[in-house]
Amino acid sequence: MEGLLRSSILAASRNRRIEELVTNAPVSRDVVRRYVGGATTHAAVEATRELLVAGLTVTLDHLGEDTTDRAQADAVAAAYRELLTALQQAGLAERPAPLTSRAEVSVKLSAVGQALPGDGEKIALEHAREICAAAEAVGATVTLDMEDHTTTDSTLGILAELRADFPATAAVLQSYLRRTEGDCRDLATAGSRVRLCKGAYKEPASVAFQKREDVDLSYVRCMNILMAGEGYPMLATHDPRLVEIGIERARFHGKQAGKDFELQMLYGIRPNEQRRLAAEGHTVRVYLPYGAQWYGYLMRRLAERPANVLFFARSLVSKG
């Protein structure tokens, strides 16, 4: 039943009609505000400031997927450059250590042109390079988000090119993919920042584990490889068991909290736990999405936890 609901929500996340309906409905502002840091650059900077003041670090994601033309890709890259400048002007883009900036950005290559026909990959690389250069200029870092499995090789290829000039650029690996243990081994090298998450897309059994426990077991194997390696692991999960195992594995492999690895969670999910872990001395980074195109992002969050659908539906009714 939960699986069915999840697939339906993911299907709805790609349906333009439903998108229009939900986007234009008098949706409770509170629901969107719970997961999204605002529609504008200014709002995103203010949300970042609040999180930094609370002792957290931040990675900002300009919402916008499925870029279908060059102009849109250019606009997304420009939005990131504007954001990075605004962070610097607000005094929020410091880099206390080579691998950790207090506020950094997360970029989806599809948003900067990767899926455009013809030279999409080249366009995405150029835009990602511009964003990395803008980040470097203000002391911030960049993480390349990982999307569905058809893009994994392309994204890792672009990452390798970017790292030649911007070595702190981070990769994301998804434990639901069968290939990921191998990718972890390849990327667990000195200076290499790797975010490990479970994975948010609907993937076929030929490439991805389907059962929750298999995804979780893979996560543990992957995090063990990353913690044993020389890189900088970034454990992105809200799963309390995995966070606990991750901290234990870090200790076992001699990685120091607040210095050699970090924990990451999404904005609005387990906020008290984010603060508790930060107070314990961990670097906790909050993934803060912002921008007008919040629909696809919000639907994926709902699909992760069908119980949230009730919360969402209730607020539609109560504020409708």
Contacts with ligand FDA, residue ranges (CB under 6 A): 145-146, 172, 174, 197-201, 236-239, 264-266, 269, 287, 301, 304-305, 308
Comparison of 70 and 221: residue with beta carbon closer to ligand FDA: 221
Q: Contact at 8 Å (CB) between 294 and 312?
A: no
Comparison of 4 and 137: residue with beta carbon closer to ligand FDA: 4
Q: Contact at 8 Å (CB) between 135 and 141?
A: yes
**Which among 8, 31, 40 has a CA at the least distance from the CA of 293?**
40
Comparison of 70 and 211: residue with beta carbon closer to ligand FDA: 211
> Measured from the CB of residue 31, what is the shortest distance to ligand FDA in angstroms?
12
**Which among 121, 119, 103 has a CA at the least distance from the CA of 41?**
103
Comparison of 123 and 236: residue with beta carbon closer to ligand FDA: 236
C-alpha to C-alpha distance for 49 and 228, rounded to whole angstroms? 34
Q: What are the catalytic residues? A: 145, 195
Comparison of 107 and 225: residue with beta carbon closer to ligand FDA: 107
C-alpha to C-alpha distance for 142 and 163, rounded to whole angstroms? 10
> Measured from the CB of residue 89, what is the shortest distance to ligand FDA in angstroms?
25
- Which one-letter DSSP state was computed for residue 177? B
Instruction: Assign 3-state DSSP to the chain and report helix, strand, coil percentages, each to 5.
Output: 55, 15, 30
> Measured from the CB of residue 52, what is the shortest distance to ligand FDA in angstroms?
16
- Strands 171-174 and 284-290 turn out to be unpaired
Report the 10 Å Cβ neighbour count for 86: 18
> Measured from the CB of residue 112, what is the shortest distance to ligand FDA in angstroms?
14
Comparison of 116 and 170: residue with beta carbon closer to ligand FDA: 170
> Measured from the CB of residue 300, what is the shortest distance to ligand FDA in angstroms?
7
Could you give phi then psi for residue 53, rounded to 5 degrees?
Answer: -60, -35
> Measured from the CB of residue 41, what is the shortest distance to ligand FDA in angstroms?
20
The CA–CA distances, whole Å, from 120 to 66, 117, 131, 154, 160 equal 12, 6, 16, 11, 17
**Which among 302, 303, 297, 296 has a CA at the least distance from the CA of 315?**
302
SS3 108: coil
Comparison of 85 and 311: residue with beta carbon closer to ligand FDA: 311
C-alpha to C-alpha distance for 22 and 35, rounded to whole angstroms? 15
SS3 103: strand
> Measured from the CB of residue 35, what is the shortest distance to ligand FDA in angstroms?
8
**Which among 269, 297, 313 has a CA at the least distance from the CA of 10?**
297
